[in-house]
Chain A
């Protein structure tokens, strides 16, 4: 889910919550006849569209157009939750206009992951990709480590390959995040005397 969709989710949920709270409090006070004097307080009110509206010629058209709009908006909003924030290509330094010196985000992530597996014995597998998260470019790597592997050695290898990635791309704005995934412990006999 990208940041924009998340912002829409948050804004509309806030709006719906506010409407329910403010409307609910007003109706609650009204139903208990506890509204402050001077506030609008009808003896009863009718919900729904005014009588006679549905007899108009435009009624089915209005319902249809509104239906189309809501379907399109709802579908676009729903699909937005599954939109990838993956970055396909990065421009390299010296390419001011973009399009000449390009590096594939997948190749960068995959290369860093392969280097990690190659340089560190404790890492059994890894994968990587470049993501855009907010205003940051993130080189996102997942490395599977042996449960008994030396974490400090793995961390040193992560720093080395991340330094190599910075040196080879020259992209100071690129950030890095390596998730260490601990492999399930292989079945082994308990160490009991």
Chain B
């Protein structure tokens, strides 16, 4: 099936669905793994070498194009490899680069966010989770400003407050706000009273 094609799969499965049952959940998308970006660079490199080959052939075959051949001298030039330290260093670097490529190719993409508990698939990114948590903290009495950093298991809220006694309120407000997530993360709150340390 392509973007212009007609999808016929499942067309004959009949309308046995119940009205109350939502569509099945699709998995939370994963961030494109680094290998995708690397693939783009490799594709550009392959195309660039190809263009160089076309230029080379044009220069060698047709007199119309002014220029010196680039690939032929490079490919046929004297290049011998000897058993010396410089060769070992270059080989070592090549091994490291190869290991990095293998790691990049095999590393799975990270999940882009967290699931929200629902019958169908509902999710939000870590950035949205941070906005949600900081908004919940910012609405607590005594909070001047709040920011949050989120990961899969933990949300950390940094709040500038008028006193230390609001920490519990902030924690419960954020925890209550994130309770709708399929696996609510741990909430850590760090409050910073604005004038702590003495008035200046």
Contact = CB atoms under 8 A, between A and B. Distances in A.
Contacts of A94: 11-12
B47 A75 contact: yes
A127 to B, nearest CB: 15
Interface in B46-84: 46-58, 60-61, 71-72, 74-84
A190 B57 contact: no
Contacts of A133: 26
Contacts of B16: 172
Interface in A154-171: 154-155, 158-160, 162-167, 170-171
Interface residues of A, number: 117
A7 B40 CA distance: 13
A191 B139 contact: yes
Contacts of B197: none
Interface string B99-125: 111101110000001001111111111
Contacts of A86: 3
Given A6-B35, A47-B79, A178-B120, A70 B22 contact: no
A177 B18 CA distance: 19
A119 to B, nearest CB: 13
A139 B7 CA distance: 13
B57 A63 contact: yes
A98 to B, nearest CB: 4
B79 to A, nearest CB: 5
A158 B28 CA distance: 15
The 6 closest A-B pairs by CB, nearest first: A67-B53, A64-B57, A9-B39, A74-B47, A20-B98, A70-B50
B56 to A, nearest CB: 5
A181 B75 contact: no
Given A17-B102, A81-B40, A93 B11 contact: yes
A67 B54 contact: yes
A45 B142 contact: no
Contact of B36 (A1, A28, A95): A1
B17 A167 contact: yes
Given A6-B35, A91-B6, A159 B132 contact: no
B23 interface: yes
Contacts of B106: 14
B200 interface: no
B14 to A, nearest CB: 6
Contacts of B143: 190-192
Nearest to B98: A20
A90 B1 CA distance: 11
A20 B42 contact: no
A150 to B, nearest CB: 9
B196 interface: no
Interface string A28-59: 10111100000000011111110101100001
Given A14-B102, A140-B26, A180-B128, 13 more contacts: A31-B85, A66-B50, A67-B51, A78-B44, A81-B36, A81-B43, A87-B3, A91-B6, A98-B6, A151-B177, A176-B22, A177-B122, A178-B121
A64 B54 contact: yes
A84 to B, nearest CB: 5
A63 B98 contact: no
A72 interface: yes
B187 interface: no
